[in-house]
Amino acid sequence: MTRLEKFGAFVELEPGVEALAHASTFPPTGQSGGWSRQVPAGTTGAFEILSVDLVKKRIGVALLPEGSARAATAADQTQLVPGARLKGKVERHEKFGVFVFLGPGRTGLIPSSETGVARDGDLARTFPIGSEVEVVVLEVDPASRRIRLSAKAVQEAEDAAELREFRERSGPAPTDLGSLAEKLQNALKTRK
């Protein structure tokens, strides 16, 4: 890291080539600007290139966690598909939902309707900043770099699994119990 700014850290990839590791690529700490205490100026490490803008001459990077391999990061990227179940950390709250840090350069949004919290409920209390949350990926739009998540879908999946398990333990449902109407019809036929 060559220098820190409020919005991120500048990194020298090679002499004369600088990139920016935006503040959003660092794990949330629950404190404003807390990411900068994790990476003081002069820090060295492995970086993943997230974006290259040739027109503006900008390179976006993310610091890879110490001890991780590029292959592990690539495998982690493949999990970012609709239906995938992931864990992340709550980064911040907005009136329209909760932002969740999934990994370097990957922050998704749980819209308010997908939190499982009532409309008048307290998102900040249910999803404290820095807390771990399990989510299901609903949609990934690589062009706009948007990831839509659901916490409600995790609970719904667990409820469905529990119901399936209950049905398996209960055994098969009886096939022919007959209905009250059939019994009444049969009773009436025998009277005639």
Angle at alpha carbon of residue 35, lines to 31 and 40, rounded to 5°: 130
Across the range 68-86, mean pLDDT stands at: 61
Does residue 21 lie in a domain region?
A: yes
Q: Are residues 83 and 133 in the same domain?
A: yes
Q: Is 48 helix (H, G, I), strand (E, B) or coil?
A: strand
CATH number at residue 129: 2.40.50.140
d(C-alpha 129, C-alpha 134), whole Å: 14
Q: Are residues 150 and 86 in the same domain?
A: yes
Count up the domains in the chain and report the number. Answer: 2
Q: Are residues 60 and 87 in the same domain?
A: no
Does residue 95 lie in a domain region?
A: yes
Does residue 177 lie in a domain region?
A: no
Residue 166 has pLDDT above 70, yes or no: yes
Does residue 180 lie in a domain region?
A: no
Q: What is the mean pLDDT of the chain?
A: 79
Residue-level pLDDT at 71: 34
Q: Are residues 50 and 104 in the same domain?
A: no
Does residue 160 lie in a domain region?
A: no
Q: Which two tokens stand for residue 9?
A: 């850290």
Q: Are residues 94 and 124 in the same domain?
A: yes
Q: Which of 45-54, 101-110, 132-141 has the lowest mean pLDDT?
A: 45-54
- How would you class 93 by CB atoms within 10 Å of its CB: exposed for 0-12, middle for 13-18, buried for 19 or more? middle
Q: Are residues 54 and 101 in the same domain?
A: no
Question: Which pTM value belongs to this model?
Answer: 0.54
Does residue 171 lie in a domain region?
A: no
Q: Are residues 133 and 91 in the same domain?
A: yes
Q: Give me the domain span that covers residue 40.
A: 3-67
Q: Are residues 61 and 83 in the same domain?
A: no
